[in-house]
Amino acid sequence: MQNWEVNGKTVLLRVDFNVPIKDGVIKDASRIEKSLDTIRFLLAKGAKLIVLSHLGRPLKELLPDGTIDYGKFSLAPVSEALRKSLGVNVIFAKDCAGSDTIEQLNQLKAGEILLCENTRFNKQEEKADPLWSKQLADLAEFYVNDAFGSAHREHASTATVARFFDRDHKAFGFLMKAEVDNGKKVLHDAQKPFTAILGGAKVSDKILLIENLMDRCDHILIGGGMAYTLLAAQGYRIGTSLLEKDKIDLAKELIEKAKSKGVQLVLPEDSVVAAQFSNDVPIRITQDQNIEDNEMGLDVGPKTVELFSQYILKSKTLIWNGPMGVFEMSNFASGTKAIAQAVADATSQGAYSLIGGGDSAAAINQFGLAAQVSFVSTGGGAMLELLEGKELPGVAAILD
Ligand code: AMP
């Protein structure tokens, strides 16, 4: 993209502007801001920029009469936000690659933006329809994908469209390139010791991730709700903590596999427990791994924080995916906060740290530590799949 001559040329840019909108007001514009570098760069080069994005799931959340809620899922408020942020003319097309797009495109000048309406108003988008993808491709001479958050989906505007451009006419945007580079760096170019910190609700969501990381990491530290299925598999009493009974055998296999590969799989040594999933009931810290029958583990305890921090501080590469406890409730946020701090401290001592692929990105932002780690991914599901070792359709379609 950097060496393209796009002055006066049409560039089709897919971004992830899937922002929360209530009554026409954007509640959090951070997803828009993340792609502004790419947009500014292309506009400064004199491109005529056609911008595409999805917003929500309009075909899944229909009105009671079975029709699309065009008002709720319209990208129109985004055109105003773009105009304000960039100070350039932003034309809004009422469709995506339809007659209004073509008509508006005729008016579009170099250095201006044509924002098309929600890609997902068209059923062809999620079906990756080749004919419609070709219609999208026919709008422009170049294609840029900056929508990393959608890169794990083979949709028309995120992947299929790219196949109609040759390698010299398609590229990653800056955000997407940073995500892909950072993900690949930890998987293929990690300095040792390499430690993964995994948490979040369910072990079933993270099985592929654990398996892929086992071939790369020295230590895997596991906290959060997912730890309790692994603790149960080790024979500890876990009370009413989150348990995926049908995954106990698999948990045993993972523990054995780690041993045979010489990877240290480290589980919590204590927990912050309560009788209910609530911030308004008394809490207790357990003596060891065992939890009473009427209690549930909702955060890692101080012994675990100490142990995990030791591993983190001696690492040169860190991946963190998933919170250590129910950090949304203040009584159960300490473990996640302390681990976030340890990751920030290790980073200041020279370690490389990647945060993402789960709620840990939200946690690190909540604790104000995002600037003190190496990279915070914006692509939850996409980063998870990249770290699982999968090929993402949106990435592959650019590199093909
Ligand atoms: P994930 O999207 O997989 O990263 O999971 C994040 C969710 O896991 C957050 O909403 C946390 O509140 C939740 N979580 C973390 N630890 C626990 C726990 N011990 N019990 C129940 N939920 C948890």
User: What are the tens digits of pLDDT across the range 208-238?
Assistant: 999 999 999 999 999 999 999 999 999 999 9
The pairing of strands 271-274 and 283-285 is antiparallel
Pick from 172, 205, 239: which residue ends a domain?
172
Can you tell me the mean pLDDT for 76-101? 96
Q: Are residues 194 and 96 in the same domain?
A: no
pLDDT band of residue 195 (cuts 50, 70, 90) is very high
Pick from 151, 172, 193: which residue ends a domain?
172
For ligand 1, the distance from its centroid to the CA atom of residue 341, given in whole angstroms, is 19
For ligand 1, the distance from its centroid to the CA atom of residue 360, given in whole angstroms, is 10
Q: Are 81 and 26 in contact (CB under 8 A)?
A: yes
Q: Are 237 and 361 in contact (CB under 8 A)?
A: no
Q: Are residues 309 and 362 in the same domain?
A: yes
- Active site residue: 9, 14, 31, 48, which one? 31
The CA distance from 157 to 121, in Å, is 12
Q: Which H or E run includes 13?
A: strand 10-14
Average per-residue pLDDT for the chain: 96
Pick from 118, 142, 172: which residue ends a domain?
172
Q: Are 147 and 38 in contact (CB under 8 A)?
A: no
Say what the pLDDT of residue 51 is. 98
123 carries an active-site annotation: no
Say what the pLDDT of residue 249 is. 95
For ligand 1, the distance from its centroid to the CA atom of residue 325, given in whole angstroms, is 6
Residue ID of nearest Cα to ligand 1 atom 20: 225
The CA distance from 16 to 318, in Å, is 27
358 carries an active-site annotation: yes
Tens digits of residue pLDDT in 230-281: 999 999 999 999 999 999 999 999 999 999 999 999 999 999 999 999 999 9
Say what the pLDDT of residue 232 is. 97
Q: Are residues 238 and 315 in the same domain?
A: yes
Say what the pLDDT of residue 394 is. 97
Q: To test ligand 1's pocket by mutation, which of 324, 359, 377, 387 has the most ligand atoms within 8 angstroms of CB?
A: 359
pLDDT band of residue 360 (cuts 50, 70, 90) is confident
For ligand 1, the distance from its centroid to the CA atom of residue 202, given in whole angstroms, is 7
The CA distance from 375 to 354, in Å, is 5
The CA distance from 267 to 73, in Å, is 43
Q: Is residue 396 part of a domain?
A: no
CA 164 to chain centre: 27
Residue ID of nearest Cα to ligand 1 atom 10: 326
Q: Are residues 53 and 103 in the same domain?
A: yes
Eight-class DSSP state of 201: S
303 carries an active-site annotation: no
Q: Which residue has the tokens 């840019």?
A: 13
Q: Is residue 320 part of a domain?
A: yes
Examine the pLDDT at 357 and tell me if it is beyond 80.
no
Tally of domains in the chain: 2
Q: Are residues 232 and 381 in the same domain?
A: yes
* Nearest-atom index, ligand 1, CA of 327: 12
Examine the pLDDT at 322 and tell me if it is beyond 80.
yes
For ligand 1, the distance from its centroid to the CA atom of residue 224, given in whole angstroms, is 6
What range does the domain containing 304 cover? 180-387
Examine the pLDDT at 380 and tell me if it is beyond 90.
no
Q: Are residues 57 and 197 in the same domain?
A: no
Tens digits of residue pLDDT in 105-145: 999 999 999 999 999 999 999 999 999 999 999 999 999 99
- Active site residue: 202, 252, 257, 314, which one? 202
Q: Are 16 and 157 in contact (CB under 8 A)?
A: no
pLDDT band of residue 159 (cuts 50, 70, 90) is very high
Say if ligand 1 is within 6 A of residue 335 CB.
no
Residues whose CB falls within 8 Å of the CB of residue 111, separated by 6 or more in sequence, listed in order: 43, 44, 46, 47, 48, 88
Q: Are residues 109 and 215 in the same domain?
A: no
Residue ID of nearest Cα to ligand 1 atom 12: 326
Say what the pLDDT of residue 240 is. 97
Cis peptide bond N-terminal to 282, omega within 30: no
pLDDT band of residue 311 (cuts 50, 70, 90) is very high
What are the structure tokens assigned to 309, written together? Answer: 């921090």
Q: Are 178 and 375 in contact (CB under 8 A)?
A: yes
Can you tell me the mean pLDDT for 343-368? 91
Q: Is residue 143 part of a domain?
A: yes
Examine the pLDDT at 16 and tell me if it is beyond 80.
yes
Q: Is residue 395 part of a domain?
A: no
Q: Are 121 and 68 in contact (CB under 8 A)?
A: yes
Say what the pLDDT of residue 326 is. 96
Closest CA to 142 of 42, 232, 12: 12
The CA distance from 143 to 50, in Å, is 10
Q: Is residue 398 part of a domain?
A: no
pLDDT band of residue 400 (cuts 50, 70, 90) is confident
Query: Looking at residue 257, which CATH number applies to its domain?
Result: 3.40.50.1260
What are the structure tokens assigned to 214, written together? Answer: 């086992």
Q: Which residue has the tokens 């009974």?
A: 245
